[in-house]
Amino acid sequence: MKTERLEELIENCVLGQLTEDEAEELSQHLRQDEAIGSRRKLRRALKADAYLEEAAADMERGANFDDDFGSARVVPFLQRTWLTGAVAAALAIGIFGWSRNGEQSRALIDLGVASVLRIEGDGKVNGSAQLSLGGSLREGDRLTMKEGIVELAFRDSGVHAIATAPLSLTVQTADRVFLNRGDLKLHVPPQGIGFVVETRERKITDLGTSFVVSAEPQGSQVFVLDGLISLDGRGKARERFMTAGELAKFHREGDTQMPSKGHSGVPELEMGALVPTEGSLVGHLYSLPDNQLLPKQPSRFKVDVMGQRFAPLIESGFKDFSCLKGMDRSAPFRFAGVAGTYNEFALRLGVSPRVINESGWLVWYQGKIKPPQSGRYRFWGYADNNLLVAINGKTVFDGSRYDSDLREVMPVARENYPAWPCLNARAGFASGPWVEINDDPVQLDLLFGEVAGKLTSGILLVEREGAVYEKTYWGQPQWPLFLMELPEEAQRHELERLRSHMVDKLMGSFTVSESACWHVVD
């Protein structure tokens, strides 16, 4: 592969803009034995990019930028600077590598390489010593637990790890552990890129990510929550890369199972659109007629046609409907939450496959609503591709994917939580700002849909300030689904199936709560 093409692929990888074909092209090249230098270049680029993005965030927090010079412009500029040469990569590696040398390194070894932030259960080090809060693990220490949970922070790299019992884990070095049994979730900051988790079947190398490794007597598996990891090529298996949402299982006999390409593993909602009833929030699905389709574009230039069409409506505070003229609109159906996969949703409502694949669709729910009680609320969630919530005409939550045009219309403050898994979201859960809502009804406008294609998923939860929510054993709060009415029995069964999938596969969850239901006001 020519150097120019390789650099182009690496740049797109760093910026999160790889198409499926480009991802396969890059992976095939990196699997080759002679591509060792290319793999090193990719790791350095990812590390430098992560460092520069973090530096940009520090700059933003430390300076009074106005709206025209905030992180939305600073971070993308810094993200691209690594391509100006090896300076940025060398700077990043130089900064991250200095503490591994000399007296600093020896001091860390003496103090231990990992500190105990939390422990629930009876943890033993090397078969006898009791592990306690504030204690340390040193190189070569073997930690075992029959039941419970332990939370660790690796001093040298800042890697954060949570492990659950039954557990058998050996700290081999400051940046390598061996997991013989148990579940281990890791969140790796920029300076920790290259951290390794080994099981009996595979070696898993972090490339700037969050992931979960499980090991059992019959084999092991890894699930990528965010970012990128590499798997070694032991035995007959080739080295390969995995990205967010991918799951791989490794059997003791040497077989490897990977999910089908492009499939999130999230259960498909089978009920389709539900007929409105009294007290329902009502929505319609909008799509372009066949005769309005644009000429088909190459996949890397996918256009958010529906986002562009809805932009004037959003900018007007959902008062100017003229931009919807000439579009196809479905019969009304009721809002039953946003949760799960909607691959067949538009098809069931009569939208043609060609329209779905080339221009996508958007559902618009609207109505007057009241919260279960007055207070401050914020929304959590994520969608592939579009998810937007507006209160009284003002956007209060944007959970859309990075390539959605909705994110550019009326930008709203947003935080991403990569360590909290959310369906197949690369960025994890996103949250919006707190919004004060009293007893007076407010106007709700909610958009959800797909840019183009049949792989659509999303989830929308809501949190009330001051409320206490149960947490998963990974520490993620189980916020309630944003609902106007409790689901019927068939829908509740589907939601329970989705909740079980999140608990078992994604280490996340949610709740369905009557006390958290909002109410539609006539």
The 3-class SS string of 171-216 reads EEECCEEEEEEEEEEEECCHHHCCCEEECCCCEEEEEEEEEEEEEE
Q: Containing H/E element for 461?
A: strand 457-464
Q: Cβ distance 433 to 421 under 8 Å?
A: no
Q: Over range 297-321, report the average pLDDT.
A: 82
Q: Cβ distance 482 to 461 under 8 Å?
A: yes
pLDDT bucket at 144, cuts 50 / 70 / 90: very high
Q: What is the pLDDT of residue 158?
A: 86
In degrees, rounded to 5, the angle at the alpha carbon of residue 426 between the alpha carbons of residues 420 and 432 is 60
* Stretch among 51-65, 360-374, 395-409, 488-502 having the lowest mean pLDDT: 51-65
pLDDT digits (tens, 9 = 90+) for 428-466: 789 999 999 998 999 999 999 998 887 888 999 999 999
Q: Which residue has the higher pLDDT, 138 or 41?
A: 138
Q: Cβ distance 385 to 451 under 8 Å?
A: yes
pLDDT bucket at 74, cuts 50 / 70 / 90: very low
Q: What is the pLDDT of residue 326?
A: 92
For the cut 80, the answer to whether the pLDDT of residue 261 exceeds it is no
Using DSSP's 3-state secondary structure scheme, residue 323 falls into helix
Residue environment code for 280-313, b if the CB has 16+ CB neighbours within 10 A, otherwise e? bbbbbbbbbeeeeeeeeeeeeebbbbbbebbbeb
Q: Cβ distance 362 to 288 under 8 Å?
A: no
Using DSSP's 3-state secondary structure scheme, residue 164 falls into strand
Which neighbouring-strand residues pair with 148?
Answer: 121
Q: What is the pLDDT of residue 258?
A: 64
pTM metric for this prediction: 0.61
Q: What is the pLDDT of residue 37?
A: 60
Q: Over range 61-76, report the average pLDDT.
A: 32
**Torsion sign, CA atoms 192, 193, 194, 195:** positive
Angstrom CA distances, 72 to 48, 208, 384, stand at 19, 21, 21
Q: What are phi and psi of 94, to 5 degrees?
A: -65, -45
Q: What is the pLDDT of residue 362?
A: 95
pLDDT digits (tens, 9 = 90+) for 363-413: 999 999 999 999 999 999 999 889 999 999 999 999 998 778 888 888 899
Q: What is the pLDDT of residue 255?
A: 65
pLDDT digits (tens, 9 = 90+) for 319-363: 999 999 999 999 999 999 999 889 889 998 899 998 998 889 999
Q: Over range 77-94, report the average pLDDT.
A: 30
For the cut 50, the answer to whether the pLDDT of residue 71 exceeds it is no
pLDDT bucket at 81, cuts 50 / 70 / 90: very low
Q: What is the pLDDT of residue 41?
A: 62
For the cut 90, the answer to whether the pLDDT of residue 238 exceeds it is no
Q: Over range 289-294, report the average pLDDT.
A: 76
d(CA 345, CA 343) in angstroms, rounded, equals 6
Q: Which residue ranges make up each domain of the chain?
A: 3-100, 109-257, 282-521
- One of 1.10.45, 2.60.120, 2.60.40, 3.30.420 is the CATH number of 282-521, namely 2.60.120
Q: Containing H/E element for 7?
A: helix 3-14
Q: Which residue has the higher pLDDT, 511 or 134?
A: 511
> What architecture does CATH give domain 109-257?
Sandwich (2.60)
Residue environment code for 102-132, b if the CB has 16+ CB neighbours within 10 A, otherwise e? eeeeeebeeebbbbbeebeeebebeeeeebe
Give me the percent of the chain exceeding a pLDDT of 90.
38
Name the token pair of 129. 């010593």
Judge if 109-257 and 282-521 fold alike in CATH terms. yes
Name the token pair of 29. 């090249």
